[in-house]
Chains A and B, each alone.
Chain A
Amino acid sequence: MASVRRSRGESHFTRYLILGAWAFFCLAPVLWFLSIGLRPRVEIITPQPIYWPTFSLDAWHMIWEDWPMAKYLRNSVLAIIGSVLIDLVLAIPAAYSLSRYQYRGRDDIGFYILSTRMMAPAIVAIPIFFLFRNFGLLDTIWALMLIYAAINLSVVTWIIRSYMLDIPKELEDAARTDGASDLRILWEIIIPAILPGIITASVIAMIFAINEFLFTLLIASTPNAYTMSVALANFTGGSDGVIYNAIALVAFLAFLPVFLVVVAIQKHLSRGLTMGAVKG
């Protein structure tokens, strides 16, 4: 028995050792750019290796005091939250229809919605630019909200649809015989039941939106509509050269909230990302 216990303990130790090494391998770049962000600029570009780095908040002061980082952050938050809200308002009824009603072409419509995600963004970039220009939306947060919402609508719809497919049909039948209309069923029964799915879809949409660069660069031409991702690009040019520590710090600030949210909901997230693997 003792040998069985010991071998189990050893197997646990080995497992954690491998997982720990893998976690370090994955997180090392993140820790590295955090360390870059918290060091003086001159130390970063020096050709000799530095074994005992100097701690400095130069980059921190620079991004908040010399650059309108607060504004970029606000733009990012508003555009992302707005786009997710638009997605939910459109995706929930669409997913309900795709998962619950029988009608001709339902599966084709579902595939069409998903296929919009398969298109290379550059294909629609120019038409979207002209469209937004004609509507006078260029360089506004509204445009960012709309474009992020459009990009993520298919994914959000399909994730929510996969959660809705798991809701027993009996629940809706019960609500219907209890006297509920379709809208009441959706609002009072379905939405509370798929709340984890809605949160998952929202987080995934947020991750995609915070990383979006091409359309943001196309639409935002002044700091009025710059987001964190475009702000990063601004540290790479101009008379100051490439400001690596500022880039690293902004990248870390953009990464951290998403990382924390993903850790908090990772169980739901893995389910959302494997949607349709088993059902639907």
Chain B
Amino acid sequence: MARIELSGIQKRWGAAWGVRDVNIDIADEEFVVFLGPSGCGKTTTMRMIAGLEDPTEGDVRMDGQLMNDIDARDRDVAMVFQGYALYPNMTVYENIRFPLRMRGVPKEQHDDMVRRAAAMAELSDYLDRKPAALSGGQRQRAALARAIVREPQVFLMDEPLSNLDAKLRQAMRVQIKHIQRELKITTVYVTHDQIEAMTLADRIVIMQSGLIQQIGTPDEIYNNPANTFVAGFIGAPPMNLISGSLSGGTFTAEGVSVSGLRTDLSGRVTLGIRPEDCSLSETDAHLTGLVYGVEPTGDITYLTMKTGDKLFEVKAGRDFRAALDTPMSVAFDPDRICLFDFETGERLG
């Protein structure tokens, strides 16, 4: 469908920065998710791809063609919005048909195209309804059908599932991924939900304060976070980050001692270990502390420990239970330990 290149993209409003120096090459048919907290610049970047915002500097290209001066309505992109943005005065059928009318698609093709898109979004029974008479999930599917009806070169989705409940979100996630794979349309998806990012993306772009922090596949981002921000943003619960000192392959902090690390580095560092890479152990323990909280979820139990004045998360077995302030020892999987620069937060080694 289309390859998207963003080179040196910046967006400023007076002295306020929206996006700083974004460079990314999105391959044809790729599903890329922009992930980050509110205000990180991910939606602004998407709006610049759509043509709804002009970059202050830098180029947006699609299939090599410079798009900076091309109006949003002349770019072959379709966008799904967080608030659905269905036209309230039109039925679902008219909503889905709207882009066909605007783009001058011959009238005799409209009905077939609308019904096909509605069928893909499982909306065939609701075509005569106005948006106000639809549930949240149906509205989102109507917005999706409107985006897919003319099979654009690029799909842009701006937090499309954030207004749905957890169960519906999971179902819609699967549906979006299935439709994207079926239509093979390059897709840029914006979210602050790491689960959405991990499950949908071919590649994830993590942003903070207008800057790209890391670009990689979900596995790369999860296993090899580029810095403490990424490490702390991905994972539920996020990676434990412990500040301490490193010397002769041994990391020490209050209540923590990890020896045998394969590194020549020394000095102040931050050690990162994911809760799922820790196990409760009486022998070979790396961390000792007191039980601060136990949260059973059915399939797993989250254990929060307190060591010194720091909290530490461990994923324990489903049957694990313990009283508060019970002393506990935890062992880390040495192959899963990450070290970060104490000052910059960047990954070491």
Query: Using a CB–CB distance below 8 Å, which chain A residues touch chain B?
Result: 168, 170-171, 173-181, 184, 188-189, 192-193
Contacts and interface: CB of A to CB of B under 8 A. Distances in A.
Interface residues of B, number: 25
A173 B87 contact: no
B146 interface: yes
A189 B86 CA distance: 10
A187 B74 CA distance: 19
Interface in B286-321: none
B40 interface: no
Contacts of B156: 177
A177 B89 contact: no
Contacts of A177: 50-52, 72-73, 75, 77-79, 156
B85 A174 contact: yes
A179 B102 contact: yes
A175 B98 CA distance: 8
Contacts of A178: 73, 78, 98-99, 102-103, 146
Given A173-B52, A173-B79, A174-B79, A180 B102 contact: yes
A193 B89 CA distance: 7
Nearest to A170: B85
A193 B77 CA distance: 25
A170 B47 CA distance: 11
Contact of A171 (B50, B71, B85, B99): B85
Contacts, number: 65
Given A177-B78, A179-B73, A181-B73, A170 B102 contact: no
Contacts of B146: 174, 178
Given A179-B73, A179-B102, A193 B88 contact: yes
A170 B81 contact: yes
B83 interface: yes
B73 A180 contact: yes
A179 B74 CA distance: 7
16 contacts: A170-B81, A170-B83, A171-B87, A173-B47, A173-B52, A174-B81, A175-B98, A176-B71, A176-B72, A178-B73, A178-B102, A179-B74, A179-B102, A180-B98, A180-B102, A192-B87
A23 B149 CA distance: 56
Contacts of B47: 173
Given A168-B83, A175-B98, A176-B52, 7 more contacts: A170-B85, A174-B146, A178-B99, A179-B102, A188-B98, A192-B87, A193-B87
A144 B145 CA distance: 51
Interface of B: 47, 50-52, 71-75, 77-79, 81-83, 85, 87-89, 98-99, 102-103, 146, 156
A181 B273 CA distance: 53
B77 to A, nearest CB: 6
Contacts of A180: 73, 98, 102
B318 to A, nearest CB: 43
A189 to B, nearest CB: 6
A184 B102 contact: yes
Contacts of B75: 177
A193 B82 CA distance: 19
Contacts of B83: 168, 170
Contacts of A170: 81-83, 85
Contacts of A189: 87, 89
A173 B78 CA distance: 11
Best-surrounded residue of B72, B75, B146, B156 (most CB of chain A within 10 A): B72
Given A168-B83, A170-B83, A184-B102, A176 B73 contact: yes
A173 B103 contact: no
Contacts of B72: 173, 176-177
Contacts of A184: 102
Contacts of B71: 176
Contacts of A171: 85, 87
Nearest to B146: A178
Contacts of A179: 73-74, 99, 102-103
Contacts of A188: 87, 98
Nearest to A174: B85
Nearest to A168: B83
B190 to A, nearest CB: 13
Nearest to A173: B52
A177 B83 CA distance: 15
Given A173-B79, A176-B72, A177-B79, A168 B103 contact: no
Contacts of B89: 189, 192-193
